[in-house]
Amino acid sequence: MKAMLQFAAIVILFIATWFGFSRIDFVRIFHLNSINKKMERKIGDAIIDAIESGNDVIKSDSLDIIYNKIMSRLCSGTILNSDEIKLHLVKSDQINAYALPGNNIVINTRLIEKCDSASELCGIIAHETGHLELHHVMKRIIGETGISVITSMATNGNSVIAARIAKHLSTKAFERDQEREADAFAVKCLNAANIGKSGFENFMLKMAKTDGAIPDKLEWVSTHPDSKERVANIRSSKITSPKKYIQVLNDTEWAYLKKCAIQKQLVNSNLWK
Partner 1 sequence: MTPDPISTYKPNEQELERASNSYLMSLIAVMAGMPLPIINLVATLIFYLGNRKSSWYVKWHCTQTLFSQLTLLIVNSIGFSWTLSVIFGSDILTNNYIGYMLTIVLFNLGEFIVTIYAAVQTRKGKPVSFWFWGTLTNMVCKPPIGSEGLNAPDIQTAYE
268, interface contact from partner 1, Zn ion, none, CB < 5-8 Å by kind: none
CB closer to partner 1, 136 vs 224: 136
* Cβ-based neighbours of 130, under 8 Å, separated by 6 or more: 136, 181, 182, 183, 184, 185, 186, 189
CA distances from 165 to 144, 158, 175, 185 (A): 10, 11, 17, 24
Give me the count of residues in the chain.
Answer: 273
CB of 77 within 8 A of CB of 189? Answer: yes
79, interface contact from Zn ion, partner 1, none, CB < 5-8 Å by kind: none
Q: What is the DSSP letter of 243?
A: S
CB closer to partner 1, 59 vs 172: 172
273, interface contact from Zn ion, partner 1, none, CB < 5-8 Å by kind: none
245, interface contact from partner 1, Zn ion, none, CB < 5-8 Å by kind: none
CB of 108 within 8 A of CB of 125? Answer: no
* Residues in 175-204 at the binding interface with Zn ion, rule: CB under 5 A: 179, 182
Question: Considering the complex, what minimum distance in angstroms separates the CB of residue 173 from partner 1?
Answer: 16
CB closer to partner 1, 38 vs 209: 38
- The phi-psi region of residue 146 (left if phi > 0; otherwise alpha if psi is between -120 and 50; otherwise beta) is left
Question: Considering the complex, what minimum distance in angstroms separates the CB of residue 17 from partner 1?
Answer: 5
142, interface contact from Zn ion, partner 1, none, CB < 5-8 Å by kind: partner 1
CB closer to partner 1, 181 vs 226: 181
SS3 assignment, position 108: strand
CB of 101 within 8 A of CB of 43? Answer: yes
Residue 90 pairs with which residues in a beta bridge? 57, 108
253, interface contact from partner 1, Zn ion, none, CB < 5-8 Å by kind: none
Q: Which residues bind partner 1 (CB under 8 A)?
A: 2-3, 6-7, 9-10, 14, 17-27, 32, 36, 135, 138-140, 142-143, 146-148
Question: Considering the complex, what minimum distance in angstroms separates the CB of residue 3 from partner 1?
Answer: 4
* CA–CA distance, 144 with 209 (Å, rounded to integer): 32
CB closer to partner 1, 143 vs 212: 143
Residues that bind Zn ion (CB under 5 A): 179, 182
